[in-house]
Structure 1
C-alpha cells in the first residue's frame, strides 16, 4: 500500500467515505482557476468539525503528505482552490458552516469558516437584527473567515475586515489547537470583545500564512444608521482626479466619509455595466482608444462612489454639503441614492454579485444567473498593492497600472479603494478569455511585468494570489528569516500549505 493510499484509508475512517473525494471530475474542477495552472490534487478532504480538522492534519503529519486548506474556494482572481504546490491534498472547510454565537448589544457574530457572506446576511435579517456584517465586492458565497484571513476589503465603516475580528480558534499543523486573545482563558467574558488578550498577540500570524487552519472567528458588527445615502459622481480628466483624491482624503480623515469609497476608471465601470463590445470591433481585441472615448462619454474618465451615513437627517444633509463642496470645479454633479427606509444597501451588509461581471468582460456569452468564473473559463487575475492616500502617489501608481496592461493588449481595469484615511488599495483586474489560444500566457506575462514595475516604484503587494511574484521580494531586514524559523517551529515537516506566500 502506498503512503497516499494509507493516508486515504485513515482519512476515510475519520471523515467517512463521502467526505474523502478522489473522483476525477471533482479533482479536475478543484484544479481549475481563472488562469493557467499545472498543480494536481490527489484528493479532497471535507472535515465537518474542528476535531476532524485535527484528525486530518495528524494523518498528514504521520504520512508527510502536504495539505492545502480553503474555506469556500471562491478566491477568484487569486487562485480559487488551487494549492500553491503540486501534489497537495485539498482540505475544504465548507461543511463547517455554523453560526456559533451572536450578541446584539455588544455587536458580534462568531462563525465557522464555511459561513458565507450571504448566509450571515440572511441569518441576521431573519432575526430582525439592527446590525450588519461588512460585505465584499466578490461572490456572496465567499467565506467570511477566508476573506478576513486574506485581509480582504469590504464596504462600509469596517472595510478593513481583519481589523475588526478577534477570538480565533486555530489548528496547528501538528493537530494542536490554540485560541487567540482572551479566548484561551477559561470563562473569559471579554474574549469576543477584546482583541489583544494578554501578552503577544497571535492573530496576525495566521492571516496570509501557512502556520495554522482557522476554524472559528468572531466578527464585530456595525449598527445600521437611520440616514444612509449612496453617492456617485464622475471626473472627466485624470488631472482633476488627483486633486479630488487629496480633498476626499481630508473628508475621510475628519470623519465626513466614514464608509469606504471607490475610484473606478472607465474600463472598470464599463466592465461591470456591459461586456466587451465585439459587435463594434469586428471581434478584435483590445478595445481601441477612440472607441473607449466614445463609450465613456456618459460618465467621464473616472467614477467615484461611496455612501454617506449619519444618525439623523440634519447631520446627513450637512455631510452631503461638505462632499459637494469638495467636488466643486472637479467633478460632474453629485448623484445621490434613495433615502427609502426599505432600501437595503451593500454599505449596510447586502451582498451582491454585480461586480463578478468583470470576470466575463471578454467572454462571448453573458454572465449566467449563477456565475462561476472557474467553470466558465473566464480569464481573471488580480494585482493588488498598497498606496499612500495622496493624489501624487495615486497618480504615479495608477500610471503604471494603466500603461502596462496596454503593452500586453489588455484593457487597464483600475480602481483605487479608500478603506482608511491614510492608505489606498490600488487593484488592477486583468480580464481575458481563457478559451482564446495564447491568452493565458499573455495575461500571466502582463501580471508579472505589472507586479515588477509597481514594486520597483515602491508599491508593494498587500495581497498575493497563486501566481505570487516571479522572484523573491527583497527585504531590508531579517523578517523573512524570522518567519522561516516560525514556520519550521510549528510545521517542521512542511505539510501545511507549502509554497503559500513563499513558505
Structure 2
C-alpha cells in the first residue's frame, strides 16, 4: 500500500486526486523508493537558511531520477497533471535558498543519483559529467587515474558539483574560475521531453562537442543558466592542465580604508594576466568565521560587533583588516618573472605585507585558500556559520567594475546598513578580469525571531539602497528572486517570459526561478 500524502500540502493549482494520480505514475516510472512523500523523507529538502517560515518553501514530494529517460518520463507526467517541479543536483545551495523549492508545494526533482563521470580527456583537458557528480568525486577520479588536471570550484567545494554550480553561474579561484566561460556543451531535457544538445552536440557522430562551444546558428547555452527552460542532464567543461609550479601567496593589510588602493593595485595585474586567477580580498570577520571563530567567544551582547572587538580578534588570530589571496601558475621561469612583478608592485604601493606558502606553512586560513586555488576540494568555509550560529545565512552579491572607488563605496554602504540592523559586515571582494563580485554573507541567528526579522529587513534594504546606486546582485536566494528580477527591468522580463511560454507553456519547470513564472504578472 502506498503512503498517503498530506492533503493540506499540494502543488499550486493541483487538487488531491490529480496529485495522487501523478504520484502513482511517478512510482511506476521511478520505483517506490524514488518517490518520497513522508515528512521525515522530505526534511533534507526543507532546511532553509532564509528569514521566512519553512512552510513557505515546503515541498509536497520529492522524486529521484537515475537516467535521462526517467527525466523525460517525469516531465511527461508533469505536463499531463500540471505538476510543477523544482530541479536540484548535488549541492546544498546554502545562502541561496538551500535545496527547498521556490514555492510551497512544488515537487523536488533530485538528480543526485545521476552521477556518472562519462568521459575525461587528458590530452584535450575536457570532461563530460552528469548533474549528480560532485567536485569531490571528480577530484578523486583525477587522483586515482593520475591525470595531471586541475579543477575549479566554489569555496564549499567537496559536496558541490560542476553542473549545478555552472548552471547558477558560480565562480571559482583558479585561472579557470569563470565557470560558465569554461562550460562546453550541454544536454538539456526540455519541458516537452525533447532532448536538446547545445553547440556541436546535435551533429550525429560529432567528436567536437566538448572542444567547440558555438556550433552553428544561435548559441543558446547561456539561456538555460539561472533559468527554468530545461533540465541539464549532461555538461561538458574544460579542465586546466596542472602547472609545473603553483605559488600561492597572501597580502595582509591592517587598515580597513585600504580597500580602494588594494583594488587599484590588483586590477592591472589581473587584466594583464600577471595574476591569472580570481583574487580574493577577504575582510577580517570573513576570515575569522572561516576558521570557526565564534562571536560568543568575544562578546555576548546582541547587535553589530564593535570595532574594538574586531581589532581584538585580528590581533588574536593574526589576521589583517583585509586579506588578499592570489597565486601564480606556470613554469619556473614564468613564475619567477611574474613574482618579481608582483613583489615590486606591492613594494611600490607602500602598503601590505606579502606572506608566502613557505612562511605560512599549514596555518589557517592560508592553507584552505591555497587548496582552493590549486583545485583541492575542502569544506573549510562552512566555518562561517559558526560566527553567529543559529543557521541563518543569505548571500548578498552585488557586482561592480573593478575600481577602488566602487569597492570602497559598496563596502561603506553595506557596512552601514548591516550595522544599522545589528548585523556584521562579513564580506569579500573577488576580482575578476574587469569586474568585482562583492560577496557578503548576511549571517544571523534564525532561532531568534527578532533577529530573523532584522535580517529580512536588512536584506531588503541592501537590495533597495544598492539599486539606487546602480548596483544589482548576480545571484540571490529564492525568497528574494522576484524582487531582484524587478531590478533588471521590464524588457528583460518580457523576453524571459516569452521564451518560457514557448518552451514550457504548462509552467512545470521550476516556476519562480529568477522571477520567471507564467502564473505571475509583472
**How high is the TM-score relative to the length of structure 2?**
0.90
- Kept after mapping to 2: 8 A contact 1:111/1:217: yes
Map residues 37-56 of structure 1 onto 2, 5 A cutoff: 37=54, 38-56=56-74
Alignment CA distance shift 1:113-1:227 (3 Å): same
| Cα distance in 2 between the residues matched to 1:274 and 1:52 | 42
| Cα distance in 2 between the residues matched to 1:80 and 1:461 | 18
Matched, 1:322 2:341: yes
- Among 233, 237, 243, the alignment partner of 2:261 is 243
The Cα shift of 1:309 comes to 1.4
Q: Write the deviation string for residues 70-97 of structure 1: whole angstroms up to 9, x where unpaired.
A: 0124100001111111111000000000
Using the TM superposition, name which of 270-279 and 493-502 deviates more.
Answer: 270-279
Map residues 344-355 of structure 1 onto 2, 5 A cutoff: 345-355=371-381
1:367 aligns to what? none
The Cα shift of 1:242 comes to 0.9
Structure 1 vs Structure 2 CA RMSD: 1.9
- Among 211, 215, 218, the alignment partner of 1:197 is 215
Gaps of at least 5 residues in structure 1 are 364-376
Which protein has the bigger helix share?
A: 2
- Kept after mapping to 1: 8 A contact 2:253/2:323: yes
| Cα distance in 2 between the residues matched to 1:331 and 1:12 | 64
Q: Write the deviation string for residues 58-117 of structure 1: whole angstroms up to 9, x where unpaired.
A: 101100011110012410000111111111100000000000111111000100000001
Gaps of at least 5 residues in structure 2 are 1-15, 361-366, 517-522
- Kept after mapping to 2: 8 A contact 1:234/1:304: yes
Q: What SS is found at the alignment partner of 1:174? A: coil
Map residues 86-235 of structure 1 onto 2, 5 A cutoff: 86-235=104-253
The Cα shift of 1:439 comes to 2.3
| Cα distance in 2 between the residues matched to 1:133 and 1:148 | 13
Q: What SS is found at the alignment partner of 1:251? A: helix
1:302 aligns to what? 322
**How high is the TM-score relative to the length of structure 1?**
0.93
| Cα distance in 2 between the residues matched to 1:9 and 1:192 | 39
- Kept after mapping to 2: 8 A contact 1:402/1:414: no
1:451 aligns to what? 463
- Kept after mapping to 1: 8 A contact 2:399/2:474: yes
- Kept after mapping to 1: 8 A contact 2:252/2:352: yes
2:353 aligns to what? 333
Matched, 1:23 2:38: yes
Q: Write the deviation string for residues 340-396 of structure 1: whole angstroms up to 9, x where unpaired.
A: 9xx983222100111111122112xxxxxxxxxxxxx51111011111011111111
- Kept after mapping to 2: 8 A contact 1:240/1:330: no
Aligned residues: 487
